Chains A and B, each alone.
Chain A
Amino acid sequence: MANDLFTYTMRLADDAAILSQRLAGWCGHASHLEEDIALTNIALDQIGCARLLYAYAGEIEGKGRDEDALCFNRNEREFTNLLLLEQPNDDFAYAIVRQFFYSAYVLLFWQALKSSKDERLAGIAAKAEKEAAYHLRHSAEWVVRLGDGTEESRSRIEEAIEFLWMYTGEMFEMDEVATALAEQGIAVDAAAIKPAWNKSINEVFARADLSVPTGTWMQTGGRNGEHSEHLGHVLAPMQYLQRAYPGLVW
């Protein structure tokens, strides 16, 4: 049970940390100054969320690993984030669709986790929910703007939607760990929030006349540490300092 709770909390922490690192990659590279600030502000919220979750996971584990040890001293195969979140910043449209798919999901996820029997997770969820709602506003507006914009912006967001769609199934998977904790009233029944997620995606896409992909084949593996080739490239710059100078503090 303590082991399941550690595993579950680490998944959520890794989600926040990897997305944060991806978003931080836009610093100095976004389309315009305001958007640069927006993406890095969302990254900052994700760092805050990751810190709370890693710190809690470290306490559950009880082996003296703190938030930094958990984030910077684990290898690729030990990370259990969703594959969607490690996908590259190839194009602004990719970053927006990735954020939109995830924010629409995680808002529902935090809303459900707020009533977890685990008080710490419930407290973190209540905090993260407000921020996720704000991130969803931001990405949803961009989905409409790009979808409804020029021919080029539309074709680019359509490509991003088509490519990232196969990574959305993983968000709603329930494995043994999640199921056992859900039965105890601790974890969220992720499969149960899928209809609400579909509704939210449909509504926003409809505003820009974008179609929801019909593909049903989904990528999976992130929760077991099986990643795409991209994760290593996310971890390398993120972990460099602690790997080169173990234990270094500012």
Chain B
Amino acid sequence: MARASAHLATPNASDLLEKARAAAASVVDPEIPVITIEELGVLRDVAVEADGSVTVTITPTYTGCPAMTVFVMDIEVALDEAGFEQVRVETVLSPAWTSDWMSEAAREKLRAYGIAPPVGSAGSTGLFDKPDVACPRCGSLKTERISEFGSTACKALYKCGSCHEPFDYFKCI
């Protein structure tokens, strides 16, 4: 998902870039620690300048998502630990983030963690449509939405009618 671009052509440049990219890509979502910002689609670009300074570009999932501040701090720490001293994190809004950017592998990780991944693609459901959300624990489709909104901006709250467990659903937007 994230692009990696080198801005200089010394023999070392691509190694440095790869190192910076890997460090940034290792940062996980503080609220869903099994998913990295790369898998989430939040990490958009990593660039290393000739002077060794790094610019990481991210995009917010939701405009008011409080996790964004944590993302920025965690990216700075990860790059610092990888040996980069000058790090800048930039935020872009376009193209707007969508849950469609999450890979199949990331969706599987969500499920294994107990969060039902988004069903279908963004914008495909009508005003009163209800998606068939499978329980991440038992796979049953006999589930019920308790609330359109959940513990974080990106989640809704569901309950399984088969195993009776409540669970989070990663909103499709």
Please give the residue numbers on chain A whose beta carbons come within 8 Å of chain B beta carbons, in ascending order: 34-35, 37-38, 41-42, 44-49, 51-52, 119, 122-124, 126-131, 133-134, 136-138, 140-141, 144, 203-204, 207
Query: Which residues of chain A are within 8 angstroms of B63 by Cβ–Cβ distance?
Result: 45, 48-49, 51-52, 127-128, 131
Check A126–B146 contact: CB distance below 8 A.
no
User: What are 8 A-B residue pairs whose CB atoms fall within 8 Å in the complex?
Assistant: A38-B147, A45-B63, A123-B92, A127-B93, A129-B96, A136-B127, A137-B128, A141-B128
A245, chain B: closest CB distance, angstroms: 22
B11, CB-defined interface residue at 8 Å: no
Nearest residue (CB) in A for B64 is: A48
Query: Which residues of chain A are within 8 angstroms of B93 by Cβ–Cβ distance?
Result: 52, 123-124, 126-127
- The dominant DSSP class at the A interface is helix
A58, chain B: closest CB distance, angstroms: 16
Query: Which residues of chain A are within 8 angstroms of B128 by Cβ–Cβ distance?
Result: 137, 140-141, 144, 207
Nearest residue (CB) in B for A120 is: B93
Are A38 and B64 also in contact (CB < 8 A) when A126-B95, A130-B98, A140-B127 are? no
Considering the complex, which residues of chain B in the window 128-152 have a beta carbon less than 8 Å from any beta carbon of chain A? 128, 146-151
B62, CB-defined interface residue at 8 Å: yes
Query: Which residues of chain B are within 8 angstroms of A128 by Cβ–Cβ distance?
Result: 63
Check B127–A41 contact: CB distance below 8 A.
no
CA distance A214 to B87 in the complex (A): 59
Query: Which residues of chain A are within 8 angstroms of B146 by Cβ–Cβ distance?
Result: 34
Check B60–A48 contact: CB distance below 8 A.
yes
CA distance A122 to B171 in the complex (A): 23
Query: Which residues of chain A are within 8 angstroms of B60 by Cβ–Cβ distance?
Result: 48, 127
Considering the complex, which residues of chain B in the window 103-141 have a beta carbon less than 8 Å from any beta carbon of chain A? 122-123, 127-128
CA distance A44 to B154 in the complex (A): 12
Check B153–A44 contact: CB distance below 8 A.
yes
Query: Which residues of chain B are within 8 angstroms of A207 by Cβ–Cβ distance?
Result: 128
B122, chain A: closest CB distance, angstroms: 7
Check A126–B94 contact: CB distance below 8 A.
yes
Check A134–B171 contact: CB distance below 8 A.
yes
Check B127–A34 contact: CB distance below 8 A.
no
Check B157–A34 contact: CB distance below 8 A.
yes
Nearest residue (CB) in B for A141 is: B128
Are A138 and B96 also in contact (CB < 8 A) when A44-B153, A49-B63 are? no
CA distance A128 to B66 in the complex (A): 16
